[in-house]
């Protein structure tokens, strides 16, 4: 999970974004030769590790280098990864715990009652680890799906096959999701959104220049090779690959950019079923809904991108059926590839490494573990919690998060630029913001899930179908407020504006994020600033501020307050536009705006909470030679300790709403006078910005 602290404004991004992040995470390369390990290498993680500090660096010139330079100088990214650092270290720790759970479940499955969740879990993981059977089967398990595609000889058949494949988890054409109604956040409604691309973003299809050209050429070659592996002749494979590219380019041109999607109004198009039928008459919507198992009456639909659905309508009517068959065939093979025999796995990995930089596949157990966590996460989450997360840990983490909440409330009460009417609503939103810490209070019921001894790719399809059936008929129903959007062992957190809640799984609440035995300076810098303060501020960033306390999309701001906010947000965007990301690419200040506002607000709030805690509990003396304030900022910077491969940084320019970690540290810290004071930095130093270049938001 490279992009921790992802905010998930709408769950509808879950499928494509999760696939992309999964592709980015196990990437990597660029060995720098043999490096001597740090003296502390292999030791347990700490919230703040003084051994990582580069004592030769100047904290007022480049604080990221100062706080992490000694670690960076000794780090080599493992071949199977696109980055190393905090996230990988914490994931490694969590994965060892999860592995022991899965190994036990696999070994004991035969003795578990038939139909029990432990047996399903063990069977699922075992079928993934059974490489002998997987190699022997080749493409056989998904051949029936390919035969269904070959059987598309009429346009009426086309949509039914698309629906059936979507239920099995294949990302095709557009995305159906039962998600929260933007104007009635207590209920679900039907969402239809853009989807169906094979490259990581629509920009890869539309950008010009040699780099974009070479990516498109490489993609067509990859699709060609995939068709060849699936048995096509050289001529058919090449022709099919060009058909795929043509169809996807049409979809990409009609898709909104990531930047456009940041504006909630841009994806807010509720309409009646009759209006939907008029928007896209070539799609027989009742027939489509039946094909995906949607049986409740559909009265209202949010079409997130109407132009996109209009284009799909036209393509369903006019694109040659042979083109559609090629497109569907490719996506079935490509998305099954990680779970088929070695030639498929290798081809898929080789192409994805173009975006990640990974040189080697992760070991099989890690790939199987991640897929099991993704598909049956709450079945293994209970065992993970029992092994690693006692109730005391949950209580202590909650106490820090509640301090952050209180500190943000104080800031709101004293903001000079905000009117009393906006302030009252902001405070109401803060009071009503829910928090989920550690693990769900109610675990998912897997009674209806089926897993079988046999080809793993079919178990993945069964798990996808189980999840689909679990939620497909939600439109109109009351929102399940107990549900979690990520699993317990995940090293990540999120804020969801439609639910007005922040979520911190147990997997993220271990050192280096948080250690109940560590000092306040260290804990408030990492868990306080970098995690809790950050997620909380998402409720009030350029996107989150458009939602009210109940999660409804509603403008609760006075006009002058909105003007002030936007002006100051522009200051943040300009600041980050000025930073270099990789090669000659700059950070996209507007794409990363929400995250940068959240980092800035999180730091200010975390710092206030630390000062309150010191007043309450007393000031300790120097620890490792640092004051509590210095430890706060070092701990924050170390929470972003990372070493990226250039391929990963290049992909992130296009797809990632988070700026590179270098700037998530040096950017906001250079806007904070308390930082300059803590390290004796003066105007003119690179880490000190002054005057109007400092944003005044939270």
Residues that bind Zn ion (CB under 5 A): 5, 7, 595, 598
Round to whole Å and give the CA distance between 604 and 608: 6
> Shortest approach of Zn ion to residue 598 CB, angstroms?
5
Pair 156, 282: CB distance under 8 Å: no
Residue among 6 and 283 whose Cβ is closer to Zn ion: 6
Q: Which is nearer to Zn ion, 404 or 598 (CB)?
A: 598
CA 624 to chain centre: 35
Which position's Cβ is nearest Zn ion?
Answer: 5
Q: Which is nearer to Zn ion, 120 or 545 (CB)?
A: 545
Cα 262 to chain centroid, rounded:
15
CB of 437 to Zn ion, least distance (A): 17
184 near 299, Cβ under 8 Å?
A: no
Please state the closest distance from residue 564 (CB atom) to Zn ion, in A.
22
Among residues 643, 642, 644, 619, the alpha carbon closest in space to that of 631 is found at 619
CB-nearer residue toward Zn ion: 181 or 541: 541
Contacts of 166 (CB under 8 A, 6+ apart): 172, 176, 292, 468
Report the chain's terminal Cα–Cα distance, integer Å.
28
CB 669 within 8 A of CB 551: no
Up-side HSE of residue 364: CA atoms within 13 Å toward CB?
Answer: 15
3-state DSSP of 70-109: HHHHCCCCCCCCCEEEHHHHHHHHHHHHHHHHHHHHHHHH
Which residue lies nearer to Zn ion by CB, 190 or 532? Answer: 532
Q: How far is the CB of 494 from Zn ion (least distance, A)?
A: 7
Give the residue with the Cβ less far from Zn ion, 511 or 602: 602
CB neighbour list of residue 177: distance below 8 Å, 6 or more residues apart = 11, 12, 14, 190, 191, 193, 471
| Beta-bridge partner residues of 138 | none
| Minimal distance, residue 7 CB to Zn ion, in Å | 5
> Least distance (Å) from Zn ion to the CB of residue 299?
35
Beta carbon nearer to Zn ion, 527 or 598: 598
Q: Which is nearer to Zn ion, 94 or 537 (CB)?
A: 537
Query: Among residues 514, 515, 507, 524, which one has the least CA distance to residue 634?
Result: 524
Strand-strand pairing, 580-582 and 494-496: unpaired
Residue 338 or 657: which CB sits closer to Zn ion? 657
We find the least distance from the C-beta atom of residue 493 to Zn ion, in angstroms, to be 8
For residue 88, the tally of other CB atoms under 10 A from its CB is: 23
Phi, psi torsion values for 30, nearest 5 degrees: 75, 55
CB of 457 to Zn ion, least distance (A): 33
As measured in angstroms, the least distance from the Cβ of 538 to Zn ion is 6
Nearest alpha carbon to residue 185 among 536, 479, 426: 479
Q: With contact defined as beta carbons under 8 Å apart, do 344 and 139 qualify?
A: yes
659 Cβ partners below 8 Å, 6+ apart? 576, 579, 581, 587, 592, 595, 596, 667
Query: Read out DSSP for 353-380?
Result: HHHH---SPPPHHHHHHHHHHHHHHHHH
**What secondary structure letter does DSSP report for 626?**
B
**Contact indicator for 4, 492 with CB cutoff of 8 Å:** yes
161 versus 659: smaller Cβ distance to Zn ion? 659
Task: For Zn ion, give the closer residue by CB, 54 or 595.
Answer: 595
Least Cβ distance, residue 417 to Zn ion (angstroms): 23
Which is closer to Zn ion, CB of 492 or CB of 644? Answer: 492
> Which C-beta is closer to Zn ion: that of 380 or that of 404?
404
Rounded to 10°, the helix 321-336/234-253 angle is 90
Question: Tokens 């269904």 identify what position?
Answer: 148
Q: How far is the CB of 534 from Zn ion (least distance, A)?
A: 6
Question: Measured from the CB of residue 681, what is the shortest distance to Zn ion in angstroms?
Answer: 26
Rounded to a whole number of angstroms, the minimum distance from the CB of residue 542 to Zn ion is: 12
Contact 475, 178 (CB under 8 A): yes
Closest CA to 663 of 564, 584, 593, 568: 593
């Amino acid at each position: 999970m490279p992009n921790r602290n992802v905010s998930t404004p709408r769950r509808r991004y879950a499928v494509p974004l999760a696939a992309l992040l999964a592709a980015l995470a196990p990437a990597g390369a660029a060995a720098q030769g043999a490096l001597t390990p740090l003296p502390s290498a292999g030791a347990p993680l700490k919230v703040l590790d003084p051994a990582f500090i580069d004592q030769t660096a100047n904290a007022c010139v480049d604080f990221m280098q100062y706080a992490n330079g000694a670690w960076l100088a000794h780090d080599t990214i493992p071949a199977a990864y696109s980055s190393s650092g905090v996230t990988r270290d914490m994931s490694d720790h969590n994965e060892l715990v999860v592995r022991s759970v899965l190994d036990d479940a696999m070994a004991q499955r035969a003795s578990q009652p038939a139909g029990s969740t432990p047996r399903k879990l063990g069977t699922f993981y075992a079928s993934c680890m059974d490489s002998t059977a997987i190699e022997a089967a080749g493409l056989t398990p998904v051949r029936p799906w390919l035969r269904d595609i070959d059987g598309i000889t009429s346009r009426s058949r086309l949509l039914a096959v698309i629906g059936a494949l979507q239920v099995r988890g294949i990302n095709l054409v557009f995305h159906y999701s039962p998600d929260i109604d933007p104007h009635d956040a207590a209920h679900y409604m039907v969402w239809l959104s853009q989807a169906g691309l094979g490259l990581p973003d629509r920009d890869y299809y539309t950008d010009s220049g040699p780099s974009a050209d070479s990516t498109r050429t490489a993609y067509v070659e990859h699709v060609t090779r995939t068709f060849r592996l699936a048995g096509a002749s050289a001529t058919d494979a090449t022709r099919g690959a060009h058909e795929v590219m043509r169809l996807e380019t049409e979809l990409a041109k009609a898709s909104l950019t990531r930047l456009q999607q940041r504006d909630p109004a841009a994806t807010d198009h509720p309409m009646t079923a009759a209006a939907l039928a008029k928007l896209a008459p070539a799609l027989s919507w009742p027939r489509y809904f039946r094909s995906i198992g949607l049986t409740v009456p559909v009265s209202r639909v949010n079409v997130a991108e109407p132009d996109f659905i209009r284009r799909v309508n036209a393509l369903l009517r006019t694109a040659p059926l042979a083109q559609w068959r090629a497109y569907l065939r490719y996506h079935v093979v490509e998305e099954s590839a990680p779970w088929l025999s070695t030639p498929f796995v290798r081809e898929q990995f080789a192409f994805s490494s173009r975006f990640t930089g990974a040189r080697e596949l992760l070991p099989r157990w890690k790939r199987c573990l991640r897929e099991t966590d993704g598909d049956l996460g709450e079945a293994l989450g209970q065992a993970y919690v029992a092994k690693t997360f006692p109730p005391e840990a949950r209580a202590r983490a909650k106490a820090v998060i509640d301090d952050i909440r209180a500190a943000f409330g104080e800031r709101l009460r004293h903001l000079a630029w905000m009117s009393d009417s906006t302030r009252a609503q902001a405070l109401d939103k803060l009071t009503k913001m829910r928090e989920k810490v550690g693990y769900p209070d109610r675990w998912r019921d897997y009674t209806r899930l089926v897993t079988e001894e046999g080809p793993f790719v079919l178990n993945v399809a069964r798990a996808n179908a189980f999840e689909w059936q679990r939620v497909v008929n939600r439109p109109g129903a009351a929102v399940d407020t107990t549900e979690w959007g990520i699993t317990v062992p995940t090293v990540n957190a999120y804020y969801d504006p439609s639910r007005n809640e922040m979520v911190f799984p147990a997997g993220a609440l271990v050192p280096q994020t948080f250690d109940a035995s560590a000092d306040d300076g260290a804990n408030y810098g990492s868990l306080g600033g970098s995690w809790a303060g950050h997620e909380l501020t998402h409720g009030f960033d350029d996107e989150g501020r458009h939602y009210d306390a109940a999660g409804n999309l509603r403008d609760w701001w006075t006009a002058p307050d909105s003007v002030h906010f936007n002006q100051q947000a522009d200051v943040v965007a300009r600041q980050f536009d000025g930073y270099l990301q990789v090669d000659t690419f700059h950070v996209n200040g507007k794409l990363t705006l929400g995250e940068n506002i959240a980092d800035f607000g999180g730091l200010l709030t975390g710092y206030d909470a630390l000062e309150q805690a010191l007043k309450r509990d007393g000031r300790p003396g120097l620890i490792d030679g640092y004051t509590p304030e210095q430890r706060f900022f070092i701990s924050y910077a170390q929470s972003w300790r990372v070493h990226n491969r250039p391929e990963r940084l290049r992909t992130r320019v296009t797809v990632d709403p988070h700026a590179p970690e270098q700037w998530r540290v040096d950017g906001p810290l250079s806007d904070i006078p308390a930082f300059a004071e803590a390290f004796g930095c003066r105007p003119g130093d690179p880490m000190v910005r002054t005057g109007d270049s400092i944003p005044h938001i939270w």
